[in-house]
Amino acid sequence: MYVSLRDRPGAGSAPGRGRATRISSTVVLLGIVSMLTDISSESVSSILPLYLTAVVGLSPVAYGFMDGLYQGVSAFVRIAGGYAGDRGGHPKWVAVAGYGASALSRLAMLPAAGFAAITAVVTADRLGKGLRTAPRDALIAEASDPKELGRAYGVHRTLDTIGAAIGPLVAFALLAAVPGSYDSIFVVSFAFAIVGVAVLVLFVPNLKSSAGKARIGLRRMFREISGRRLRKPLVAASVLGLLTVGDGFVYLALQERDDFAATYFPLLYVGTNVAYLLLAVPLGRLADRIGRARVLVAGHGALLTCYLLAALPAGGLGLTLGTLLLLGVFYAATDGVLPALISRLVPAEARGSGIAAAQTAVALTRFASSLMFGVLWTLQGPGMSLVVFAALLAAAIPVAGLLLRGIDRAEVAP
Amino acid sequence: MTLRSRVITLVAILLVAVLGAGGYVWQTRASQARTVAEAAPVATAGDLAGLRNQPHVVFRSTALGAEYGRVAVVPLSAPDGPRAFTPASCDRVYATAADAICLAANRGLVTTYQALLLDDSWNKTNELPLTGLPSRTRLSRDGTLVATTTFVFGDSYANPGQFSTRTVVSRTTGEVIGDIEKFTLTVEGKVITASDKNMWGVTFVDDDGFYATAASGGKTWLVHGSLSARTVTALRGDVECPSLSPDGTRVAFKKHGDLPSGKWRLAVYDLKTGAETLLAETNSVDDQVEWLDDDTIVYGLPRETAGSASSDVWQVPADGTGQPRILIRDAWSPAVVS
């Protein structure tokens, strides 16, 4: 009934007879869904600080509290989403629920007023994001040739990041056309989101976990994600996550020493995103060729260099751009590569849960890292704190390398 | 569903989305244009040069229409009467008899900001460096020193201080004296070195002394600073955006107290007796107030009506008595020149 199962590798046809396999249409479709949704969500989140402080009248401190709330909610729901996709055998419909919740939250922004209402709406959006990520990544794994997984995630993340780059531009263009009309942004954002959901519902096939009816129970899921195969990668991802500070801190460090960075502060995110979207596919392919674990670990080497560049007491335009480029390299080498690595380590029926476990571990440890870094920053300033984190990361990278050694070969037979 | 019917469904949804959202934006734009066109024209009168020779108020006019955002002048004798427009457009303005400082935005895909010094006939004499969103600006009484506060940017939870300001003091000749956030901050005898330290809202005493707000670790203080010694010392907690009275005896400020976040109450602090008086204005005021005379302060308040881009300048007695009332309609960022 759905588009076809033709593009599903290993489902009968003989892929990879020497020639490069094509990226599955499912991956491209999911990329388009993510792109539309990211245009929608980034257009809102780029103006949210302005809206909350200028229109609703929250102080920057209250806004900061909300941002913390996002993180917590998102991490918890993520694992539930992964499990729900595995358990029901319908990852697509879990993803639809996630994308749908985010879309509806845009409309709810229209009448929302006051701290509580906006918190609820923003939480619903994050809830949706948490819910959809793991089942969607499981779908990508399901639709792709295992040997080309890095590239498939690279394609998806490129489209996703294009959306993230366009979103703020849409928002600021609208604010220029209809000054002060935040409602216009919410309505346009909703329109993008709803088209994204439509593409997902109408065109993305509901690829079931290949094990078919083998529904896994909670206990089985816990056994899978705490099992021997996942233990080392999860520990490695957590150790690295603990030393990954939010990019906001890097931007703040840059703006303190460089007037260019201060003036064009909102553009720093765009710079990182551009580097990320240009590199996501090449680094994904590299990961397919030389090993995902290797690229993942090397990506943290780029992050380490990025810390050191940002910690330099003085800098100019060149150094700022170099720092952004390295941050983009880091994201391109890790964000899509991690699910590519994990999804081959767990049996297909627990794939969503496995991916979710890894992503949750990364999200939680990065959040903890940002808290620790915030304290350190307050005590001794940005430069010194970055150097401390760079030194710790330099010690952690070899440890992670050891933990992940040989992991690329330890695949579960698909 | 066949592929064909799915494509048709998608096209239909796409059309509804594009037409719906586009229509909404178009209608909003049209209704904004209508509001501007239907706005009662603001009464203008008076000759600029003449007004400058008598006590007057300089402010940003927020009356809807072609002059929105222009700097205007009214005589103190008839503040809510007709206004005279200057050629300058500013987001934030302050003026003395000798000169004026104008913080303005160049809006675009990336909005940049500039700080322009204007002479007494509103011609640009100098441009000062400015990074970030303009927030406060003040000139010293004789118009030779200028302070600007900008928000470099706000950030997220777990980020230090959640927002970052820059407050630069310069001479109107263009010579930059320094970022007062780099001055040595002392609170209760201890030097604060925390890097989440922010300062904003300068008010000048003379050619060396000034008052301002300092913040660190979620606390704010009234600080007294010295430009020559490059130091600032905390005098009192929970004081934001101080403004020194013309006789130099009191400071009007916004006090957070135990109000919900983002809310402030206006108060006056007597520098000699240490007495604090809450003013009769009960609306939350987020502005650096200005003194009309030694007994009255003035401040901007956004209009209550939803979606309004307008604001009014209000006045209230500085001793806690009386009631607030409107001084100038459709105005913002007042500077009293007497």
Residue A399 pLDDT exceeds 80: yes
Greater confidence (B121 vs A55) lies with: B121
For residue A341, is pLDDT > 90?
A: yes
Does the CB of B14 have a partner CB in chain A at under 8 Å? Answer: yes
How does DSSP classify residue A315? -
Residue A271 has a pLDDT of 87
Using an 8 Å Cβ cutoff, are B323 and B296 in contact?
Answer: no
* CB of B309 less than 8 A from some CB of A: yes
CA neighbor of A116 nearest in space, from A124, A127, A106: A124
* Stronger pLDDT, A223 or A149, i.e. the higher one: A149
Q: Does A313 touch chain B (CB under 8 A)?
A: no
Tell me the pLDDT tens digit for each residue of A68-126.
566 667 777 888 898 888 888 888 999 999 999 999 988 887 776 666 677 777 778 88
Tell me the two tokens of residue B123: 């011609």
Contact present, B300 and B58 (Cβ < 8 Å): no
Chain B window 170-189: which residues touch A at a Cβ cutoff of 8 Å? none
How long a stretch of residues is chain B? 338
**Nearest chain B Cα distance for residue A170, angstroms:** 10
Query: What's the confidence (pLDDT) of residue B165?
Result: 77
- Judging contacts by C-beta atoms under 8 Å, the chain B residues touching residue A374 are 158-160
What pTM value is reported for the model?
Answer: 0.74
**Residue of B25, B109, B158 with shortest CB distance to A188:** B25
Chain A touched by B55 (CB under 8 Å): no
The alpha-carbon gap from A223 to the nearest alpha carbon of chain B, in Å, equals 34
- Touching check for A381 and chain B: CB below 8 Å? yes
Is the pLDDT at A332 greater than 70, yes or no? Answer: yes
Contact A60, A53 (CB under 8 A): yes
Please give the residue of chain B at the shortest CA–CA distance from A202: B6
By C-alpha distance, the chain A residue nearest B163 is A60
Predicted confidence at residue A366, as pLDDT, reads 84
- The length of chain A in residues reads 414
Chain A from 66 to 105: CB within 8 A of any B CB: 66-68, 71
Report the percent of chain A where pLDDT is more than 70. 83
Q: Which has the closest alpha carbon to A233: A146, A291, A147?
A: A291
Whether residues B156 and A380 touch (CB distance < 8 A) is answered with no
Spatial distance between the Cα atoms of A306 and A317, rounded to a whole number of angstroms: 15
Nearest CA-CA distance, residue B53 and chain A, Å: 37
Q: Give the chain A residue whose CA is nearest to the CA of B17.
A: A191
**pLDDT at residue B309, rounded to an integer:** 63
Most A CBs within 10 A among B32, B165, B195, hence the mutation to make, goes to B195
Residue A289 has pLDDT above 90, yes or no: yes
Which pair of structure tokens corresponds to residue A167? 């979103």
User: Which B-chain residues 212-271 have CB contacts (< 8 A) with chain A?
Assistant: 217-218, 260-263
Task: Say what percent of chain A tops pLDDT 90.
Answer: 40
State the distance between the two ends of chain A, measured CA to CA, in whole angstroms.
Answer: 24
User: So what's the pLDDT on residue B261?
Assistant: 65
pLDDT value of residue B232: 95
* Positive or negative: CA dihedral A169, A173, A176, A179: negative
CB of B162 less than 8 A from some CB of A: yes
Strands B198-204 vs B250-255: parallel, antiparallel or unpaired: unpaired
Q: What is the pLDDT of residues A154-197, one digit of tens each?
A: 999 999 999 988 888 888 888 878 877 788 888 999 999 999 99
pLDDT at position A411: 56
**What local confidence, expressed as pLDDT, does residue B216 receive?**
82
pLDDT of residue B337: 92
Q: How confident is the model at residue A38 (pLDDT cuts 50, 70, 90)?
A: very high
Kindly tell me the sign of the dihedral angle through the C-alpha atoms of B245, A60, A113, A164: positive
Q: Which of B219, B236, B316, B299 is nearest to B270 (CA)?
A: B236
Distance from CA of B56 to the nearest CA of A (A): 30
- Per-residue confidence in pLDDT tens, chain B, 338 aa: 788 999 999 999 999 999 999 999 999 999 888 877 777 777 787 788 888 888 999 999 988 777 888 999 999 999 988 999 999 998 889 999 989 999 887 766 666 778 899 998 899 998 887 777 778 899 998 889 999 988 775 433 233 345 677 889 999 888 889 889 889 999 999 998 777 778 888 999 999 999 999 988 778 899 999 999 999 999 999 898 999 999 999 999 999 888 776 678 999 999 999 999 999 999 888 889 999 999 999 999 888 664 456 789 999 999 999 999 999 998 999 999 98
What whole-number distance in Å separates Cα of residue A295 and Cα of residue A333?
A: 6
Task: For residue A12, give every residue at least 6 positions away whose Cβ sits within 8 Å of its Cβ, in sequence order, or none.
Answer: none
Query: Is residue A191 a contact partner of residue A60, using CB atoms and an 8 Å limit?
Result: no
User: Residue B160 has what pLDDT?
Assistant: 36
Whether B179 contacts B168, CB under 8 Å: yes
Using a CB-CB distance cutoff of 8 angstroms, which residues of chain A are in contact with residue B260? 115
The answer for B 57-116 residues in CB contact with A (under 8 A) is 107-110, 112
Inter-residue contact A109 to A123 (CB < 8 Å): no
Query: What is the per-residue pLDDT for B194?
Result: 74
The verdict on a CB contact (< 8 Å) between B261 and A1 is: no
How many CB pairs (< 8 A) connect A and B?
144
Helix/strand/coil percent split, chain A, to 5: 80, 0, 20
Local confidence band at A218 (pLDDT 50, 70, 90 cut-offs): confident
**Can you tell me the ipTM of this complex?**
0.76
**pLDDT value for A222:** 78
DSSP assignment string, A359-383: HHHHHHHHHHHHHHHHHHHHHHHHH
Q: What pLDDT score does A18 carry?
A: 41
Strand-by-strand arrangement of the B311-317 sheet: B290-293, B296-302, B311-317, B325-328
Contact B319, B306 (CB under 8 A): no
Q: Label each residue of chain B as H, E or C.
A: CCHHHHHHHHHHHHHHHHHHHHHHHHHHHHHHHHHHHHCCCCCECCCHHHHCCCCEEEEEECCCCCCCCEEEEEECCCCCCCEEEEEEECCEEEECCCEEEEEEEECCCCCEEEEEEEECCCCEEEEECCCCEEEEEEECCCCCEEEEEEEEEECCCCCCCCEEEEEEEEECCCCEEEEHHHCEEEECCEEECCCCCEEEEEEECCCCEEEEEEEECCEEEEEEEECCCCEEEEEEECCEEEEECCCCCEEEEEECCCCCCCCCEEEEEECCCCCEEECCCCCCCCCCCEEEECCEEEEEEECCCCCCCCEEEEEEECCCCCCCEEEECCEEEEEEEC
